[in-house]
Structure formats: C-alpha cells, structure tokens
Amino acid sequence: MNNLNDFSLQGKVALVTGASYGIGFAIASAMAKAGATIVFNDLKQEFVDKGLAAYKEAGIDAHGYVCNVCDEDAVNAMVAQIEAEVGVIDILVNNAGIIKRIPMIEMSAADFRQVIDVDLNAPFIVAKAVIPSMIKKGHGKIINICSMMSEFGRETVSAYAAAKGGLKMLTRNIASEYGEYNIQCNGIGPGYIATPQTAPLREIQPDGSRHPFDQFIIAKTPAGRWGEAEDLGGPAVFLASDASNFVNGLILYVDGGIHAYIGKQPS
C-alpha cells in the first residue's frame, strides 16, 4: 500500500521547460516543495534571470538555462550541461508552448508550422534527449502539458488543437515504447487557468457584467470558477512521483469537470 513517502521527489532532478512564470513556474514550485531540484529554460537570458529571481523569492534554489527547445542541437547541449552541473534528469515536464488565435483560412502556413514546432516537435526533441539517460538510470517520468484542445476543437485554434492532439498521442506512444524501461509518460490537460495571459478574458465590463468568454467558461465548468496555476501542482507531483509508477499513457485533465459536463440547459 502506498504511503506519503511515495509522493516525495527528494533527490530527483526535474527539468520544466519554459518555467520562468505561469503554469510551468507553479508546477516547478510544487515539485520543489516535494523535494525536487528544479531546472528550467527560457529563450533569452533576461527571461531566465527573471525566473531565477522569482524562484529565489519563493525560497527555491533553481537552475536556469537559455535554450530554444525547438533546436535539437541546443537541447542536446543543454541536457548534457544539466547532467554535468546538476545531475541526470529524473523528471521532464514539457511545458513550453505558444498559441496563435487566428481563423484557419486567415492563418499562414508559417504560423501553423511555428505552433506545431513549439507545441509538438519540441516535446519530441526534449524527450528524445533525456530518455537515454533515464534508460541507463532505470527510471524516469515525462509529463507533457497537453490541453483541453487535445480533445476539443474551437474557433481560431486550428494549429494549437492539431499540436496538442498530436502531443496526446506522442504521450501515449512514449509510454508504449519506453514503459519496459520503467519510464512513465503521462500528460496533464489544464482547463481554463487564470493567468496573466487570460486576464483580458476575465475583465469586468464597463456595465459591471462579466466578459462574455468568462461567462461561457463559468457556465461550462461544474466547479464554477477558473482554475489557478497552483491547482496543477498536486497532479504534477503525483505523476512525477513513485505513487504513479503503474500509471502510464494517461492524460489527466485538471479542468474543474468540463470534460464530464454537457452544460446547463438554457432557461
């Protein structure tokens, strides 16, 4: 029977991509509190520096690296540097991602490719870089940050939905291909999370009413609220810990119940 020690990440090295702020920062912070040593990357030194300052303020001794996760050579170099300076990566969280909200017929192929590159190709590249050392060590945890759009379609997010749907299947394939090496690959599908990026969608309107999209999300969510980034910390720690050693290929939707709910009947 599992006990609380199974949820400990003591002695583990966790790489969380794009974790200078937001969801990645919240997940990394939760893992740090569970005992993990945190490593993260961002595109520019200024972003890494801001992230390091935020972790320091939170009492976390994190390690930051400048790296474009779409660049395979750069990723391989970063992983080698982390192994030399911090240790072999036990936990990978593929968090870095972008979205472009453009109607499909107005979206250029270049924009579509960019979203696919960051949201699907990059998780492939980073996972590919860390798996060999996980195999040698005899264990590993990979968590891909999927999305509601791994299951649903919606206006203006054709590239994002295509990428996140692909990431769901990449998650299942990594689980299938490397489960025999004691590597578990699962996904987390956040619901609608209150972040600085979604703040404009939650602003109170001049007449005192809620933003139409805010009303839509609240009506579709049984929990009756937006999620907080911290709501993702517990599920991430679970999937990174020994408590989930027989959980593989799962997409855990942390969405306040949206997937279970058809919505309210119009009055």
d(CA 5, CA 185): 21
**Secondary structure class of 66 (helix, strand, coil):** strand
Q: Are 254 and 231 in contact (CB under 8 A)?
A: yes
d(CA 115, CA 99): 6
222 CB contacts (<8 Å, ≥6 apart)? Answer: 256, 257, 258, 260, 261
Sequence letter at residue 244: S
160 is annotated as an active-site residue: yes
By residue count, the chain amounts to: 267
Question: 21, 55, 65, 160: which one is catalytic?
Answer: 160
**Secondary structure class of 168 (helix, strand, coil):** helix
DSSP single-letter state for residue 78: H
**Secondary structure class of 173 (helix, strand, coil):** helix
Q: Annotated catalytic sites, by residue?
A: 160
